[in-house]
Chain A
């Protein structure tokens, strides 16, 4: 384990702050694994449940675990909009559509074993590649460098970037959302002309 604590060669760490193993870091590691496991288990639940409502509710729990992981990375703003947008708005939309269409649990169909085996093989190959790349990058074995201050004002900084250097993409996103809204209204009309 000594190798994992070794943090030499990190030019961007402020030298006054020394990172050490404290009870707090053990606690955060425990919380990380709890929430990561929660997210992955309920993510598997999304794809193995036969009923669409159960899948959607599994997806909510998976997104909540992901929001906790964002907050563990000190990205409070992203974690909160993850809960508001995904666990709130998007999931309500999914559940509303499932109940509007009155979808029941799928009846059993003949499984196409060749296609299923192919899908699982490609997904496993992708996972093996990710493990290989992450295992061979030396910087992935280092922990996260400590922040300069204990409290960060990330909403302020993200807002400055959004309205400063990312102003044009921000306005384009506004147009995209407007076009999507009009498109949904047009698509939902009874008779398309």
Chain B
């Protein structure tokens, strides 16, 4: 039998994978993909709680699913803007490697 804890642990493991990706990788595009993994881990635990705490009528709590809908919409807008910034950066610096971008370093 699958419990709520199983879903929460899988969600936490996905979040930790995304977090490790942000910390370890030096390619901006891979860092961006890891951010998407972390957003999706949060979505998974929201949907699991929505299914776990039923409304008195016996249907899932749809507030959480509306929240997930908003997260997906904002994430899609964020990906579009972020990738446009990466393209602009590549035009200026010819690199996507974070250690090559050191204009603000002193």
Contacts and interface: CB of A to CB of B under 8 A. Distances in A.
Interface in A69-122: 69-70, 73-75, 77-78, 81-82, 85-86, 89-90, 93-94, 97-98, 100-101, 103, 106, 109, 115-116, 118-120, 122
A13 B53 CA distance: 10
A161 B19 CA distance: 32
B3 A148 contact: no
Q: Which of B13, B20, B86, B99 has the most CB of A within 10 A?
A: B20
Interface string B37-52: 1001001100110111
Contacts of A154: 60, 62, 65
Interface string A159-187: 00110001001000100110011011001
Contacts, number: 242
Nearest to A137: B5
A191 B1 CA distance: 59
The interface residues of chain A, by DSSP majority, are classed as helix
A173 B6 CA distance: 32
| Closest 8 A/B residue pairs (Cβ) | A148-B58, A119-B23, A140-B5, A130-B12, A47-B21, A180-B77, A187-B84, A123-B20
A190 B51 CA distance: 48
Interface string B1-34: 1111111111011111111110111110110111
A77 B87 CA distance: 33
Contact of A144 (B29, B52, B84, B85): B52
Nearest to A40: B13
Nearest to A135: B5
Q: Which of B16, B18, B59 has the most CB of A within 10 A?
A: B16
B101 interface: no
Given A43-B17, A123-B23, A158-B65, A75 B9 contact: no
A176 B74 contact: yes
A130 B19 CA distance: 14
Contact of A134 (B5, B34, B65, B77): B5
B57 interface: yes
Nearest to B31: A47
B68 to A, nearest CB: 5
Contact of B83 (A52, A93, A119, A169): A93
Nearest to A12: B54
